[in-house]
Amino acid sequence: MKNLLCFVTMAYPRKIHLFAILLLVFIFPSIEAHNGRFTVKLIPRNSSRVLFNRITAKSPVSVHHYDYLMELLIGTPPVKTYAQVDTGSDLIWFQCIPCTNCYKQLNPMFDPQRSSTYSNIAYGSESCSKHDSTLCSDQNNCNYTYSYDDDSITKGVLAQETLTLTSTTGEPVALKGVIFGCGHNSNVVLNDKEIGLIGLGRGPLSLVSQIGSSFGGKMFSQCLVPFHTNPSIASPVSFGKGSEVLGNGVVSTPLVSKNTHQAFYFVTILGISVEDINLPFNGGSSLEPIAKGNMVIDSGTPTTLLPEDFYHRLVEQVRKKVALDPMPIDPSLGYQLCYRTPTNLKGPKLTAHFEGADVLLTPTQIFIPVQDGIFCFAFTSTFSNEYGIYGNHAQSNYLIGFDLERQVVSFKATDCTNLQDAPSINGVLPNVLYAHTYLLLLPLLLIILQN
């Protein structure tokens, strides 16, 4: 059967049975009335329009050793595994057999030979050209090299594979032909539960960019649970139409595009307040304008990195607001401001002043429990004057929406530990009735309309 829309047009009398109207509204995704006639569109089961009208793809995300791991299925037959979600990069990559110089992982590496839907991407193809660092192999495959800011790299071959997520209906959603890096050589160090990374950045190879058109738009939302949350408690990352962050308490800040680091989510931070003390990002100088796009929102970095001068001013104000004496500097703790206390500190609270959006941070997002009875300030300095990094610890317990269609990032304070069983983050209808169901109900509808 061809993938076509089926239009059924019927006349209706002046008086319509109430049940018929309710039936129409409930079962048909698109109803139009023109000149006294109903036009009902029946959409087949495999139509992408059904997906983004009624379904939001999603996947559970849990925390493990300061990394956030997304559960997914790889290949055919599907194999369950976990990969780190990373808004600071755009490449999806997994460790593949054979793999030299790779980190040890608990779960098996991905074996391309065991999947019937795996295929290498040819060098010179359109898919290969989406990555800017490729070479042609002896087999004419598209070999890739991908590097990170810490100079770690992953190397392998670009390939296509089926990835499977869940959905708001609870049914699996198979994403066919997803481009990813099958890594055969890597010095990237991840924790032992991760098979690789899910790039969620703005670039063309990120998961959100690749699947956005199938789900109504390039957008996704995530809600990261706090560090040391029980690993059995997960919160969803949701993709496409229906993942928008809306409602009371939502604040939004515009994305900033730059010619360099095109995968990054650049936003502009104006300053940070410590309780009632406001610290402008430019040192308070009216002669020094605050640069646009001076902060990157990165779910792959635990701590928030700030320019050195601003960091020291921030630490000074935090120390003044905390009644406890800080611990002596300990290199094993990363030269951070730390306190010895059996439970997290009571304060202070910080407010990150993004352009158009004030985001309140409580001690849960400010101090990291690094050891039993030791909590350290989750901010540190960077020698980079180009941009800072808003780390994943500060993002915890916020529902954050990344909307590439509207070019905004939205924040909503949320208890992310209570989203684990939510069928939908944003009220997307969980029931999806496909074309064969419509055809079964159509005779009943016709009988009602004739009475």
Residue 430 pLDDT more than 60?
A: no
The whole-angstrom separation of Cα 62 and Cα 69 is 5
Q: Do the domains at 55-220+234-239 and 251-418 have one common CATH topology? A: yes
pLDDT, tens digit (0-9, with 9 covering 90-100), for 53-112: 457 899 999 999 899 999 999 999 999 999 999 999 999 999 999 998 888 898 899 999
Closest CA to 40 of 9, 15, 83: 9
DSSP lists the bridge partners of residue 167 as 57
Amino acid at 357: A
pLDDT, tens digit (0-9, with 9 covering 90-100), for 276-314: 999 999 866 656 788 999 999 999 999 999 999 999 999
Closest CA to 295 of 420, 384, 230: 384
The answer to whether residue 298 is catalytic is yes
Q: Report the pLDDT value the prediction gives residue 42, as an integer from 0 to 100.
A: 33
Q: In sequence order, which residues have a C-beta less than 8 Å from that of residue 407 and are 6 or more positions away?
A: 254, 255, 257
Q: In sequence order, which residues have a C-beta less than 8 Å from that of residue 33 and are 6 or more positions away?
A: 39
Q: Of 67, 90, 298, 403, which one is the catalytic site residue?
A: 298
Q: Report the pLDDT value the prediction gives residue 332, as an integer from 0 to 100.
A: 80
Q: Report the pLDDT value the prediction gives residue 14, as an integer from 0 to 100.
A: 37
Between 438 and 426, the higher pLDDT residue:
438
Q: Report the pLDDT value the prediction gives residue 161, as an integer from 0 to 100.
A: 98
Domains of the chain, residue spans: 6-45+434-450, 55-220+234-239, 251-418
Amino acid at 310: F
Between 142 and 49, the higher pLDDT residue:
142
The answer to whether residue 330 is catalytic is no
Residue 157 pLDDT more than 90?
A: yes
Query: Confidence band (pLDDT; 50, 70, 90) for 131?
Result: confident
- Tell me the whole-structure pTM to 2 decimals: 0.81
Mean pLDDT of the chain: 83
Query: Confidence band (pLDDT; 50, 70, 90) for 7?
Result: very low
Residue 235 pLDDT more than 60?
A: yes
Distances (CA, A) of 324 to 265, 319, 341, 344, 350: 36, 9, 9, 12, 18
pLDDT, tens digit (0-9, with 9 covering 90-100), for 243-278: 999 999 999 999 999 988 889 999 999 999 999 999
Centre a 10 Å sphere on the Cβ of residue 20 and count the other Cβ atoms it contains: 18
The whole-angstrom separation of Cα 223 and Cα 236 is 7
Query: Which single residue is written with the structure tokens 């509207």?
Result: 406
As its CATH architecture, domain 55-220+234-239 has: Beta Barrel (2.40)
CATH code for the domain defined by 251-418: 2.40.70.10
Q: Is the peptide bond before 302 cis (omega within 30 degrees of 0)?
A: no
The whole-angstrom separation of Cα 149 and Cα 146 is 10
User: Is-contact 322 345, C-beta < 8 A?
Assistant: yes
The whole-angstrom separation of Cα 19 and Cα 36 is 18
The whole-angstrom separation of Cα 94 and Cα 110 is 7
Percent of the chain with pLDDT over 70: 80
Q: Of 86, 132, 192, 325, which one is the catalytic site residue?
A: 86
